Structure formats: C-alpha cells, structure tokens
Amino acid sequence: MSKPSPEAHERDRGMDAHNAVMRDIRAERDETYDAHEPTRVWLDEDNTPQGVKTSLTIILNTGGCRWARAGGCTMCGYVAESVEGGSVSHEALMDQIDVCLDHEAENADEPAEQIKIYTSGSFLDEREVPAESRRAIAETFGDRERIVVESLPDFVSAEKLSAFTEQGLETDVAIGLETATDRVRHDCVNKYFDFADFEDACAAAADADAGVKAYLLMKPPFLAESEALEDMVSSVERCAGVDNCHTVSMNPCNVQRYTMVDELHFRGGYRPPWLWSVAAVLERTADADAIVVSDPVGAGADRGAHNCGECDDRVQTAIKDFDLRQDPSVFEQVACECERTWELVLAEETAYGQPLAR
C-alpha cells in the first residue's frame, strides 16, 4: 500500500504526532481488496425506536475514511480493508449491493426490515460514496422500513439525508462520536471534531426528519479501566440529553491490525475493557432518555472485551439480552469469582501503569 499522506481537508487537524505514527503503521498494510465485493454483510436484530427489527448490515468497500488517510483514529483498522486508490466507481458500489441482496435472499426467509450501511468511513462523504450511488442505494431499499447510514459530523446535511427520507424510510445517521469528552476524543482517540459538532449534526439530521445514533468507544488507549467506565457513563448521559439523538451504541474497544492500539497491546501496554465494565455502564445508564446498547466485537478473546474466560459467554449473552429488552436485571443472573479481580482493577489501576491485569 502506498504511504498515506494528509490532504487539505485533514491537514492541521488532530494531533500531528498521532497522525505521523498512524501513517507509518498503516503503511505496513499490503493486502488488496476487490472493489466489487463488500467488506462484510450479515443478518441480525436491532433495537430501534419502533421496536426490535431484523437488520441487514452492510459494510461497503470504499476508498476509505478521509480522516484515516491523514493518520486517523488510534484504534481504527478499518481503513486497512479499503480499496487502494481512494475511490470506488458507482458501478462497483452497486455490484457490492447486489452481493448483499444475494446474501440476504440465501439466508433470510423475508427481506430485513432495517438496512444498516457502513463504509469504514463516512457514507455521506461524496468522495467515498458519490451522490449518484447514494440516490441509487436509497431507491434500492425504498421498500424497507428503516435505514441507518454512517458518517462523520462534517458530512451530515438535510440535503444528503433527504435521498432516504423522501423514499418514506425511517432514517438514522450513525455518528462515531466515541466520547462526549473532547479531551479524550482528541488525545486518546485522535479524532478532530468537538462535541458541539456532534450537536450540530443532530440538528442537521432533524431538518431532514432523520434521527441520530451515537457510537461511543469504551476504553480507548491511555485510560485506566475506572476512567474509561466513568467516561462512558457520562458520555451516554450527555448524548441522551441531545435533541434528536435517540440511540447510543457503546462499543468496547477491540485490538485491530495496523493501529496504535495494536502496537500498545503487542508490547503489553493495553488491555481491552472488561465485560464487567460494559455491563456496569449499561446498568448505570438504563434510565437514560435513549436506547442504550452494546455489541462487543471479539468478546471473550484476548483482543476483544473479556473477563476471565470462564464467564465471558454468559456475560455476553446478558449484554445481548439487555440490548433487546433494556432490562438491567439480566445482569443479576450472571456472576463469577473474577469480579473481585475486576473490582481491584477499578480501585488500583492507573493510566500510566495499566493494564494491572490481563
């Protein structure tokens, strides 16, 4: 892969030192990807403002996140799965949609009620997904009930979202806010925008009669377990207080290749969050004025959120149950001796001396 370099849009945004390191790490990638095949596609269920819906989740293979090409977020390795060259044609993107529809036809009895489209960047960035493709995708899924598209706040506008709302689709834009704390977002995640920009994006979505789903990141690098837990509780509550943000998805950080988190983890300087911490945040924010969910990627693995190995599956099942029912009592049904270790970590771990336990 050619070494990424900042473009005018990215220059002087975020931490220059982080960006320089991230560009070096990302330059190690040598895989190539087919522009006519999606990165991933799967079927699942999601809790929505209209209740639990079947979902077809699509990760389109694009030229990659604009910010990531400048260096980007410390934990995000998704740009490593992008097509080299910075852009994918309209025809290739629609071929990817056809592959996803074929997958759905082969694996579902009927069409999914909700479509979720991610690009490992910003679906509303027209360098990644041209306006022509956005409109064609809106028409393709115009017979469904709901659609979710992903974007950084910069690219959210009523005009872009109207391609979906004018089809009669209940429309949400998913924004990778990561945290409501600007200091943590800038210094730990290396994401350039402020919480005020997220609030502006929520207002822009409202102008198109679209909603917002905030994505938060549990335990970015350089935070102790207790700091990460408290930051998530505060972030969920602040997001729930923003007009038009109806859902908060808290994603525990997992260790992806070609990232700063991967480098730290390899050297023993980072541990993904405990599943007990994920459960604790969900319990403490169960009364928030929003749907609060979590889907730990790689749960139970060393590179994903995990406990001791004995109880991981049970806690993960309780988290999934909470996502669908929003009932914190599900966590009363799981227990393990490793909770004592987790409680010690919360009490004693410091950011400059973590991880206290693997």
**Rounded average pLDDT over 329-335:** 96
**Collapsed DSSP state (helix, strand, coil) of residue 338:** helix
Contact predicate 11/70, CB 8 Å:
yes
**Given the structure tokens 């004693």, which residue do they identify?**
348
DSSP secondary structure string, 78-124?
GGGGSPTTS---HHHHHHHHHHHHHHHHHH-SS--SEEEEE-SS-TT
Cα diameter, the chain: 55
Q: What is the mean pLDDT of the chain?
A: 91
Q: Is the pLDDT of residue 158 over 80?
A: yes
66-75, 246-255, 274-283, 320-329: which range is least confident on average? Answer: 66-75
| pLDDT reported for residue 86 | 63
Q: Sorting pLDDT into bands at 50, 70 and 90, what band is 13?
A: low
Contact by Cβ (8 Å): 341, 308: yes
Q: Out of 74-88, 140-154, 231-245, 247-261, which region has the weakest mean confidence (pLDDT)?
A: 74-88
Q: pLDDT by residue (tens digit) across 14-54?
A: 456 777 777 777 667 666 678 899 999 999 999 999 999 99
Residue 5: per-residue pLDDT: 45
At 223-238, the pLDDT tens digits run 999 999 999 999 999 9
User: Is the confidence at residue 2, as pLDDT, over 60?
Assistant: no
Beta strands across the sheet bearing 245-252: 40-48, 51-59, 114-118, 146-150, 170-178, 211-218, 245-252, 291-293
Residue 302 has pLDDT above 80, yes or no: yes
- The first and second tokens of residue 127, run together, are 């360098």
Averaged pLDDT, 81-102? 87
Residue 240 makes CB contacts below 8 A (sequence gap 6+) with: 248, 285, 288, 289, 290, 292
> Do residues 200 and 244 touch, judged by C-beta distance below 8 A?
no
Of 2-6, 240-244, 348-352, the range with the highest mean pLDDT is 240-244
- Residue 175's DSSP bridge partners are 214
- pLDDT at residue 1 tops 70: no
pLDDT > 90 in the chain, percent: 79
Q: How far apart are CA 311 and CA 122, in angstroms?
A: 36
With 60 as the cut, is the pLDDT of residue 4 above it? no
Measure Cα distances from 142 to 5, 135, 160 in Å: 38, 10, 15
The first and second tokens of residue 153, run together, are 């706040």
Please state the rounded mean pLDDT for residues 331-349. Answer: 96
Give me 69's structure tokens: 């090409």
In this structure, is the dihedral angle defined by the CA atoms of residues 138, 140, 141 and 142, taken in order, positive or negative? positive
Please name which of 194, 166, 83 lies closest in space to residue 129, comparing C-alpha atoms.
83
**pLDDT tens, 52-77?**
999 999 999 998 888 887 788 999 88
Among residues 2, 169, 192, which one has the least CA distance to residue 84?
2
Confidence grade of residue 285 (pLDDT, cut at 50, 70, 90): very high
Contact 90, 133 (CB under 8 A): yes
- The whole-angstrom separation of Cα 278 and Cα 249 is 11
